[in-house]
Structure 1
């Protein structure tokens, strides 16, 4: 029997991130969305390193409670860290301030080091919280939660369409890359490779537009009037209020700790 499908971060196909059964699964999607929004608000606006470290520890604790596969989560976080690594390395050398050390003709400032550390802590804390709170939801659950919070229908529909057709576009890209390899294409650092990559991206846009037009016509033929009929929003339970209340109290304690 094949293994259950799993998305990468926030889904190609809308499956929940693979994890063990936990109490977090019983929390209503609206409570999770509000918890993540409040956590991101506090983490992004905070400038205190101690608060950011505590926020990261809070995210790690939540991931442990949710019984996420730590190795898989670590690979996803590492991918994001590698993406912002260049920024974090360059900040100490481009931010004016008191020099801490010198490397050749470049000097790293204390302010730049602190700024880079703040960005790294914020990115990892918010990403891990997002993987734990929203990554363990399916796309349908997330859409239902957003609709329950009175998020505009067009945004909810756009999210659901994106989840579905990112997978379609991904399959088209794989087919095109297989066709290129079948014709003997080998990626190198030369002009031919860059030109072929440009053609690949251009054809991907053309095929995406063609697929979008065909899907739109098919949906109109089936009577689509611009609205999705989402599943009913689950009732708000007492445990959801307890979870959100404890979460907000923890965030308030973080804020008060940063003011001292």
Structure 2
């Protein structure tokens, strides 16, 4: 579930039209992902930090969202500097750290941080129902929206089911290890989770049919694009386009 510190604020960022947030996030994230300009990447990080500051999101809460990504990126730093061919800058026994490998790992790191900060700044400052509503207005396929919605809605249910199975194993004094018994037990747990998830999905589907669900979620409130939304979008895109132009022409 989204942390209440994120979407229960009353800042101008929280009051932005969710459609604006989704569009800006997609445009900026694609720009960062496909660009090799560090100026653009650094600007995106700075821009996201400014938005997070305006949204009054506590720094330690935002950092908690970055922590899993940082742990994953540390694994990349263990392998990439040694596995990419290029000019050797340091040797550790038979292994050589290359300049190209370090730059490649660094580029992936700053791009990943920039994109995740964009998500924290825009996506997490809206509640999930509003985001799904925004996706529907932006003509995203309904099936994809339903898939994301039900994944978000029931992922914690699957997690609770896993915790019950885990507690049952602990009561039977199961201790995981690197042996055949552990592998068989893990396989049984995965299989049990899949079966129970399927059974629950059938019950949810039948319950929705009984309530007349026809594949459409009807909303009582609809978005209204305001002047501030247009101004904010225009300024953001103009600044972003300017940075892209400067990067392309290598002015800085």
**C-alpha distance in 2 between matches for 1:87 and 1:212:** 37
For residue 124 of structure 1, the aligned residue among 103, 113, 133 is: 113
Distance 1:245 1:26, change over 3 A: same
Tell me if 1:173 matches 2:162.
yes
Distance 1:152 1:113, change over 3 A: same
For residue 212 of structure 1, the aligned residue among 177, 190, 201 is: 201
The more displaced of 61-70 and 185-194 is 185-194
**C-alpha distance in 1 between matches for 2:137 and 2:123:** 15
Q: Deviations 1:82-141 (Å, cap 9, x if unpaired)?
A: 123222331121111111211111112211111111100011111011012011211111
Contact 2:89-2:96 within 8 A present in 1 as well: yes
Structure 2: gaps (5+ residues): none
Which residue does the alignment assign to 1:57?
A: 46
Deviation at 1:144, TM superposition (A): 0.9
Tell me if 1:109 matches 2:98.
yes
Contact 2:49-2:121 within 8 A present in 1 as well: no
Which residue does the alignment assign to 2:2?
A: 7
Q: Deviations 1:44-89 (Å, cap 9, x if unpaired)?
A: 1111223322221222222111111211221221111212322233
SS in 1 for 2:13: helix
**C-alpha distance in 2 between matches for 1:131 and 1:91:** 27
Which residue does the alignment assign to 1:41?
A: 30
For residue 88 of structure 1, the aligned residue among 59, 74, 77 is: 77
**C-alpha distance in 1 between matches for 2:27 and 2:245:** 15
Structure 1: gaps (5+ residues): 1-5, 9-14
Contact 2:83-2:101 within 8 A present in 1 as well: yes
**C-alpha distance in 2 between matches for 1:19 and 1:68:** 10
**C-alpha distance in 2 between matches for 1:50 and 1:229:** 43
For residue 171 of structure 2, the aligned residue among 173, 178, 182 is: 182
